[in-house]
Amino acid sequence: MAGGGRHRKRKLHFSKIYSFRCGKASFKEDHSQIGGPGFSRVVYCNEPDCFEAGIRNYATNYVRSTKYTLATFLPKSLFEQFRRVANFYFLVTGILAFTPLSPYSAVSAILPLIIVIGATMVKEGIEDWRRKQQDIEVNNRKVQVHNGNGVFDCTEWRNLRVGDIVKVEKDEFFPADLVLLSSSYEDAVCYVETMNLDGETNLKLKQALEVTSHLHDDGNFRDFKAIVKCEDPNANLYTFVGSMDFEGQEQPLSPQQLLLRDSKLRNTDYVYGAVIFTGQDTKVRQNATDPPSKRSRVERKMDKIIYILFFILFLISFIGSIFFGVETKDDLQNGKMERWYLRPDDSTVYFDPDQAALAAICHFLTAVMLYSYFIPISLYVSIEIVKVLQSTFINHDIHMYYEEADKPAHARTSNLNEELGQVDTILSDKTGTLTCNSMEFIKCSIGGTAYGRGITEVERATGRIRGSPLPSHKLNEASLSEIVTGPKSSVKGFNFSDERIMYGNWVKEAHAEVIQRFFRVLALCHTAIPEVDEETGKVSYEAESPDEAAFVIAAREVGFEFYKRTQTNISIRELDPTMGKKVERVYQLLNVIEFNSTRKRMSVIVRDEEGKLLLLCKGADSVMSERLAKNGREFEEETMEHVNEYADAGLRTLILAYRELKEEEYKRFCEKFNQAKSSVSADRDALMDAVTETIENDLILLGATAVEDKLQNGVPDCIDKLAQAGIKIWVLTGDKMETAINIGFACSLLRQGMKQIVIGLETPEIQSLEKAGDKTSIRKASKESVIRQITEGMFLVSSSSGSSNVFALIIDGKSLSYALEDDVKNMFLQLAMGCASVICCRSSPKQKALVTRLVKAGTGKTTLAIGDGANDVGMLQEADIGIGISGVEGMQAVMSSDIAIAQFRYLERLLLVHGHWCYRRITSMICYFFYKNIVFGFSLFLYEIYASFSAQPAYNDWFLSLYNVFFTSLPAVALGVFDQDVSARFCLKFPILYQEGVQNVLFSWSRILSWMFNGFLSAVIVFFFCTKAVELQAFNSDGKVVGLEILGATLYTCIVWVVNLQMALSVSYFTVIQHIFIWGSIGIWYLFLVVYGVMSPAFSTTAYKVFVEALAPAPSYWLVTLFVMISALIPYFAYSAIQMRFFPMYHGMIQWIRHEGQSDDIAYCDMVRQRSLRPTTVGHSARLAAKRAARKKHSQERNDHYG
């Protein structure tokens, strides 16, 4: 019952049991800065309305993440639009089209621009509206706030003000940064889950000041008054300096009292807190950088091509203007008219021979407008349309739909689809991304015997590749699956199965006594709190970390059920081997010496029912082995062997040991320990460390546990595929180094035989400096040490280049902060690039973002960040592509990501299939767009040569403006949406195909320029063949000759045919839609010609009846079309045939394989795949290969030895 639970908890004083965490804060040097610059914030708790609070005018608690507001939308988005050079250019030409300079009518020029801009703005608006919805949801969450009379009312988050007193209940998020005043516990501690901030899954213990800890009821706050002075808003999550003036006494405040927004209250019924930072001032918001607008690499390159086109455009306009100027000047010489029919004597300024220079300048503007058809106006909008459609493919891909959570993939911005095909480095979060954030007890080694038949994800993946049953599990498949799917698997956190131990069978084992002690340690040595369901009697646990829970659960499942904890006692039910039934035992809890990252172990001291004093200890193998007693090393060798095996399989291992204490020994310890504990000096922790050191010694080894930090489904496979595709994978995690390394092993990013370069600052010199507390010297020494380690690492890497040595870089957060400094970071990057895997542990959100930026800027390649928590937001935004995992950890990561997927494994399909396709489609489409516009633009220019550069277009106005819209764009859009070089199956079968994107071979300058050249060639062929064919002679049997309008329409017909057929040639995957679009576009041209031709001559001008009357009845028109069409396509056709035969690209080879029907020939496919596969360095394929090589070497050596 809740009431009972509360009562029970109230009585617990954790602060007395815990050794380290609940220390008293003391004034440190930082506190002297309060009131000074950077520390000027003053908060009047419980008086948000008072005058002093009013004049300070702190930010409201409203949080805004949208790009636009209602007022700024129009100007800001228009500005965004016209920042694109091409759009700005079209705006200028659109305005100029209203002047007499224009070679065509203004309406036909401005209409496409309006359509293009409008469509883009609507899209922007819709996207921002979605963000707004999210903001509204967050800002309108409810919280209880003190209204002044000792009563707490519900109000929305956005209404909170600095100084408000709020009450937050269990499992609620904190609405702002609060100073903890009191909690449901007597000693005002509370547990906080900060997963959204730093990704750490263990609960943090916070404790209020003693002076406020008595405020347990709403009514207590009626007259509560306090003044908090503290630092100004900043982004550092782990520091807080302040003081509280309460009842006339100045009390120091530390991070221990600060509850951060977006973290969650756990295991505590309620807390009271005073609001210190609101809205944008909160630490989590300060950490959030502005959502940057991302543009893909391809698009940035496309901009460059557009600049090139602009250059060509201005160049030919300039050339044209010079010729025009010269010819115009020649028209009138000494009053004698040359081209008299132009009346140069009585001319406008645009054609005035007397002012030829001015006329040439005006002509330049006109020409710039005329040749605007070089710039594909519809390119941007076509790309946007294509990307939206591509995104719907991604969103609707059934293979990326996570059925269990009903979550499909969701491309939140469609800007980056093709970037997915170019990823060079993946930066991944760990918790919740690679792992499911659940720990499972899976194996153990007790008394030198390994137990546990569960199979880890890694073993499963390696086993699958090997294609044979796992050697260590020689059971047949049937019994194996029986065990895996047995009834135990329903227990969360427990995946252990071994009939030798379970169901009370352990008593029959050889080391039954050791096993008993082993599980007792698991049941006693922890800080979890049991919760008994009154109805079923089932016990569940609330632990600080999931692995701790896994231990207690494991103990329970084996038969050592921990069910009750009081201030001083721990009660367990266990099987008594002599009586053969369950008995309840109560252990008196004397001390808890907790785990921390330096100690790497945890101990409890208990007194059992017989009065024996026991020290139970669990810890990392590195620290435990040196603490074993001489007579306690009985099973050491076997155990260590097992531990290594487990660690290589990516399991978290802990060594369990115990010792019996003598009464007087404990007494001595107790005395010293209490002395150390109550000291208030700065080196209190060190003192306590020293004391505990003395007692955690001479331990007797019991065994080792292996907990699987459960990887998400398919993660090793996915990583393997990605590694085969040549993508580098970095892991950035807020977790501990050991954990990170374990996961590295689990997903085959690390393996035995890989040289680990570990960069850390846990060296004795620096620790001693830290004790001295001189900040500058710590900094200096730390930096020096980091630089030294990096140089050493680089030396190692460079000295072994060429050999088969593979390196892994592991760096912790503290060192990282030095390694990321400007003068070191390039060295660091260089070292990291030389390593096959990089793992950064204990990194803050900001560091994650900085690392991402470093990789992005340093390598110049595409980076992809993937994460699921709010601590990954910075990284997601910084990377070229941010992928959010829409898992359990809230929505922040998803909201700031570009694409959200439900599981890490979908990344494989997202990148290798969709990424590759999108990249290919977009690049082909862009190349094609440039091609078709160059064909058209150059045909205009070539005509100018024959029109004395007077800027007379060869085509009718509406032919001109509709070229990009109707007759050529749709097939390109269809190509961008539907084309695929090889099917999804082949994309996954030949992952190296992905390198086409990474190396950008489809969008290299040579490819782009050859497409442009192809366009130029087509234009020349079309223009000259057309004009030569219809030049002078009668055009039809009626003796009529070709005029401007007929030549224009003929040229245009040929161009429409040529560019559409060119499209048909470059499509590699025809769907009905492509047929409809390609042939439809050509059909529409004829239809348009007819329809436009029958409109009144006032509107259709030169196109009036041109098709019906002149073109259609004339056989020469059709013959010319056919001829020009074929000749213009020959160059490309010959080129692609030769390339396919002699210089095939990788996709060409795969197409060939499929075409020849050899895809079923496994050996053959393997040959192609193997031979094109670069040696990968990470992933389980690589692990297998390395193992094989090692075994071969080993046997060879043996042979040598015996031979």
Binding residues for ATP: 429-431, 548, 595, 618, 652, 733-735, 842, 848, 871-872
Q: How far is the CB of 863 from other proteins (least distance, A)?
A: 16
Q: Among residues 410 and 1154, whose Cβ is nearest to other proteins?
A: 1154
Give me the 1004-1043 binding string for other proteins, x by CB under 8 A, dash otherwise: ---------------------x-xxxxxxxxxxxxxxxxx
How far apart CA 643 and CA 641 sit, in angstroms, is: 5
How far apart CA 969 and CA 283 sit, in angstroms, is: 49
Q: Is 1046 in the site for other proteins (CB under 8 A)?
A: yes
Q: How far is the CB of 995 from other proteins (least distance, A)?
A: 5
- Given 28, 130, 304, 343, the residue binding other proteins (CB under 8 A): 343
Tokens of 737: 């180094």
Query: Which residues lie below 8 Å from residue 926, measured CB to CB, with a gap of 6+?
Result: 298, 302, 305, 379, 383, 1003
Q: How far is the CB of 1115 from other proteins (least distance, A)?
A: 6
- Given 1104, 1179, 1180, 1181, the residue binding other proteins (CB under 8 A): 1104
- Name the amino acid, one letter, at 1145: M
* Beta carbons of 987 and 916 less than 8 angstroms apart: yes
Contacting other proteins within 345-404 (CB under 8 A): 346-348, 350-351
Contacting range for other proteins; rule: CB under 8 A; set: 13-21, 399-407, 632-640, 1100-1108: 1100-1108
DSSP secondary structure, 1083-1119, as one string: HHHHHHHHHHHHS-HHHHGGGTTIIIIIITT-HHHHH
Query: How many other β-carbons are positioned within 10 Å of the β-carbon of residue 100?
Result: 9
Contacting range for other proteins; rule: CB under 8 A; set: 126-134, 269-277, 909-917, 1101-1109: 1101-1109
Q: How far is the CB of 1084 from other proteins (least distance, A)?
A: 23
Q: Is 329 in the site for other proteins (CB under 8 A)?
A: no
Task: Mark the binding-site residues, compressed into ranges.
Answer: 429-431, 548, 595, 618, 652, 733-735, 842, 848, 868, 871-872
Contacting other proteins within 976-995 (CB under 8 A): 992, 995
1148 torsion bin: left (phi>0), alpha (psi -120 to 50), beta (else): alpha
User: Taking the chain, what is the end-to-end CA distance rounded to the nearest angstrom?
Assistant: 75
Angle at 448 between CA 443 and CA 449, to 5 degrees: 50
Q: How far is the CB of 1119 from other proteins (least distance, A)?
A: 7
Residue the block writes with tokens 């209203």: 98
DSSP secondary structure, 644-692, as one string: HHHHHTTEEEEEEEEEEE-HHHHHHHHHHHHHHHH--STTHHHHHHHHH
Q: Is 1152 in the site for other proteins (CB under 8 A)?
A: yes
Contacting range for other proteins; rule: CB under 8 A; set: 259-267, 434-442, 1107-1115, 1187-1195: 1107-1115
Task: Mark the binding-site residues for Mg(2+), compressed into ranges.
Answer: 429, 431, 868, 872
Give me the 724-763 binding string for other proteins, x by CB under 8 A, dash otherwise: --x-x-----------------------------------
Q: Among residues 590 and 1047, whose Cβ is nearest to other proteins?
A: 1047
Q: How far is the CB of 965 from other proteins (least distance, A)?
A: 25
Q: Is 103 in the site for other proteins (CB under 8 A)?
A: yes
Phi, psi of 799 (to 5 degrees): -75, -20
Q: What is the four-CA torsion angle of 867, 870, 873, 875, rounded to 10 degrees?
A: -50
- Tell me the β-bridge partners of 605: 591, 615
Q: Is 36 in the site for other proteins (CB under 8 A)?
A: no
Contacting range for other proteins; rule: CB under 8 A; set: 184-192, 841-849, 956-964, 1156-1164: 1156-1164
DSSP secondary structure, 343-387, as one string: -GGG--GGG-GGGHHHHHHHHHHHHHHHGGGGS-HHHHHHHHHHH
- Tell me the β-bridge partners of 584: 573
Judged by CB under 8 A, how many residues of this single chain contact other proteins?
91
Q: Which of 657, 677, 658 is nearest to 669 (CA)?
A: 677
Give me the 896-935 binding string for other proteins, x by CB under 8 A, dash otherwise: ----------------------------------------
Q: Which of 1148, 1077, 883 is nearest to 386 (CA)?
A: 1077
Contacting range for other proteins; rule: CB under 8 A; set: 35-43, 314-322, 1074-1082, 1114-1122: 1114-1122
- Given 1, 1098, 1162, 1163, the residue binding other proteins (CB under 8 A): 1098
Q: How far is the CB of 563 from other proteins (least distance, A)?
A: 54
Q: Is 794 in the site for other proteins (CB under 8 A)?
A: no
Crossing angle (nearest 10°) for helices 356-370 and 916-945 = 150
Q: Which of 262, 281, 429, 957 is catalytic?
A: 429
Q: How far is the CB of 1189 from other proteins (least distance, A)?
A: 17
Q: Is 804 in the site for other proteins (CB under 8 A)?
A: no
How far apart CA 926 and CA 915 sit, in angstroms, is: 16
Q: Which of 273, 253, 255, 268 is nearest to 174 (CA)?
A: 273
Contacting range for other proteins; rule: CB under 8 A; set: 49-57, 630-638, 980-988, 1097-1105: 1097-1105
Count the alpha carbons within 13 Å of 892 in the hemisphere toward its beta carbon.
Answer: 23
Among this protein's residues, is 429 annotated catalytic?
yes
Q: Is 535 in the site for other proteins (CB under 8 A)?
A: no
Q: Which of 936, 1099, 1086, 1085 is nearest to 1023 (CA)?
A: 936
- Given 539, 984, 1044, 1073, the residue binding other proteins (CB under 8 A): 1044
Q: How far is the CB of 394 from other proteins (least distance, A)?
A: 27
Q: Is 308 in the site for other proteins (CB under 8 A)?
A: no
- Given 74, 1167, 1189, 1190, the residue binding other proteins (CB under 8 A): 1167
Q: Is 342 in the site for other proteins (CB under 8 A)?
A: yes
Q: Which of 610, 80, 435, 105 is nearest to 293 (CA)?
A: 80
Q: Is 319 in the site for other proteins (CB under 8 A)?
A: no
CA–CA distance from 429 to each of 225, 367, 808, 840, 975 (Å)?
43, 54, 17, 10, 35
- Given 49, 52, 338, 1197, the residue binding other proteins (CB under 8 A): 338
Q: Which of 287, 366, 283, 286 is nearest to 320 (CA)?
A: 366
Contacting other proteins within 834-863 (CB under 8 A): 834, 836
DSSP code of residue 954: S
Residue the block writes with tokens 């001829």: 1123
Q: How far is the CB of 726 from other proteins (least distance, A)?
A: 6
Q: Is 1134 in the site for other proteins (CB under 8 A)?
A: yes
Contacting range for other proteins; rule: CB under 8 A; set: 121-129, 267-275, 330-338, 394-402: 330-338
Q: How far is the CB of 1035 from other proteins (least distance, A)?
A: 5
* Positions marked catalytic: 429
